Amino acid sequence: MHHKLGTVVIGLNEGGLLRRCFESIIPSCEQLVYVDSNSSDNSVFIASSMGIEVVELDLSKPFTAARARNEGYSRLLELFPGMEFVFFVDGDCEVSSVWIEQASEELNERPNVAVVCGRLREKRPEQSIYNRICDLEWDTPVGSAMSCGGISVMRVQAYQAVGGFDLSVLAGEEPELCYRFRKAGWQILRIDSDMALHDAAITQFSQWWQREVRTGYGGLDVQLRFGLQDFSSINNSARLWSIGFLLVILVAAGLGWLLVDTIFAFKAVSVVLMILPVQALRIATKGMRRGLSIKDACLYGCLMILSKWPQIIGQLRRYREGKSKLGKENKVIEQKEGGATGSFWQADLKCYSIRPWLSEQSIWSIAVYRFGRRIDLYPYGLRKKGATFFYWRIFRLVETITGISLPKEAEVGPGLRIYHFGNIFIHPNVQIGANCTLRQGVTIGNRKSGGPVPVIGGNVEIGAYAQILGDVKIGDDVKIGAMSVVLNDVPSGATAVGNPARIIKAQSSSQE
């Protein structure tokens, strides 16, 4: 146990991943603070139930990783003023059992080092090529480094000396902080040690595209404002292979048409376009040298060429904004909430058959619910008013047809499955975790008007016609028997049956 080191975990809608993150840290470090960015799942409940200090960010200010880490750091120092090192980690990571000890030893032995980072690995590289690319990008050289990522151990003395993260940096906050460390004479060190498993969870092209837009935006932002050159090669490459390449095509076509004819212009453009597969092949070869299969290497080469376009889009947005929105809310740099609605819906769909729309009426209510949650993220204006008007009409229609009342105000994690339909009522203030299952006749709400409502953990199965009422907390991996009436808390891993419900041993079988 390291008493000179404290940990700041930041998260948004991490669900069960957050519990595993805490469990991987606590054996090595009990000085722990969790910073939550308005999660709509049971993340805060998970942290509180494990006795971890929770900082819930003020909704009146935009959420950024820099702000979350700074506020978590401040609270950590208030609780444990003797801290010498602080470990910043994301809530979707599982920390290596030896990492905290090894990082602390390096900082103790090297007083001129401000930051120590290690090998971050993707938790599920088999899920998608995008996850495998992340794993490749995180495998950086060992030794002295220019910067670190968001997961690293920092020296409190150095962190305080440079003033922590800059809240005006909406993306690229770690390289900017490391730039100030280096200017102040400190060093950044990458050691040959596994640091953590990170769940990138990039399974869709749109998620990958948005990540590259963020890279372009953040890279240009820190370069323009701070003269930071860490992203200069990425920024220049994006310009060259997007706008620059497009100009070359136009020039080749124009000169070919003016000097010869249309056919020659077409041939000239074809020759220029051949540069793209050649460049993709060159990148693919590098990928193969780093361990990618032939198929993955080819996809990697193609995606790296294509990535120049979302990156230039991010740069153009940064140029367009100028100084008007620096440090303010911006769609380009939102954390998970914007994308979470879409990814939550994808997780819901995976719980159903391939084409559930005609065979599973419950999917209609879930679709309307996720649509309503997305509307709540729209900026105030005509678009939001119109979408909200449409939502309430379609909500009432689907509620009447299916007998499922699932209002958008309820907070439900990803992977919701509802078997059958009819007489299902969820109170607007209810919180339900990830990967939960409901059946017909379920009611989750208060015991009297205006009273408290349940908070339900992740991986909870609720049987037909079960009632969960009042100020009740249901832990993770719980089973609620059919026709049970739950009026008291149910611990994680338990089964509750009866009226009123009593706790019995966890059982391996589940109702269908």
**Tens-digit pLDDT profile for residues 450-482:** 899 999 988 999 999 999 999 999 988 899 999
At 344 the pLDDT is 82
Q: Which of 73, 68, 62, 65 is nearest to 32 (CA)?
A: 73
Confidence tier at 506 by pLDDT (50, 70, 90): low
User: Could you count the other beta carbons within 10 Å of the beta carbon of residue 163?
Assistant: 10
At 510 the pLDDT is 40
Task: For residue 243, count CB atoms less than 10 angstroms from its CB and return exposed for 0-12, middle for 13-18, buried for 19 or more.
Answer: middle
Angle at the Cα of 508 from the Cα atoms of 461 and 40, rounded to 5 degrees: 30
Least confident piece of the model among 68-77, 280-289, 452-461, 499-508 = 499-508
Least confident piece of the model among 43-47, 89-93, 128-132 = 43-47
Q: Which of 41-45, 220-224, 377-381, 506-510 has the highest mean pLDDT?
A: 220-224
Least confident piece of the model among 9-13, 15-19, 186-190, 393-397 = 15-19
Q: Round the average pLDDT of the chain to a whole number and report it.
A: 88
Confidence tier at 501 by pLDDT (50, 70, 90): very high
pLDDT tens column, 265-274: 999 999 999 9
In the predicted model, what is the mean pLDDT of residues 52-63?
84
Joined tokens for residue 401: 């047809």
Q: Please report which residue ranges of 42-147 form alpha helices under DSSP H.
A: 43-49, 65-79, 99-109, 129-137
- R_g of the chain computed on alpha carbons: 26
In the predicted model, what is the mean pLDDT of residues 268-285?
93
Do 504 and 497 touch, CB atoms closer than 8 A? Answer: yes
Cis-peptide into 500, omega within 30 deg: yes
Q: Which of 160, 164, 174, 153 is nearest to 108 (CA)?
A: 153
- Return the C-alpha torsion angle 292, 195, 141, 156, nearest 10: 150
**Cα separation of 32 and 407, whole Å?**
35
Do 13 and 404 touch, CB atoms closer than 8 A? Answer: no
Least confident piece of the model among 49-53, 87-91, 483-487 = 49-53
Residue matched to tokens 């999917």? 363
Residues of the chain with CATH 2.160.10.10: 337-504
Amino acid at 378: Y
Residues of the chain with CATH 3.90.550.10: 5-200
pLDDT tens column, 74-125: 999 999 998 999 999 999 899 999 999 999 999 999 999 999 999 999 988 8
Q: Which of 165, 300, 286, 310 is nearest to 234 (CA)?
A: 310
At 319 the pLDDT is 87
At 341 the pLDDT is 53
Do 300 and 133 touch, CB atoms closer than 8 A? Answer: yes
At 334 the pLDDT is 44
At 177 the pLDDT is 94
At 509 the pLDDT is 39
At 418 the pLDDT is 96
Do 443 and 425 touch, CB atoms closer than 8 A? Answer: yes
| pLDDT at residue 41 is higher than 80 | no
At 63 the pLDDT is 77
Class of domain 337-504 (CATH, top level): mainly beta
Q: Label the pairing between strands 152-155 and 85-90.
A: antiparallel
What's the topology of domain 5-200? Spore Coat Polysaccharide Biosynthesis Protein SpsA; Chain A (3.90.550)
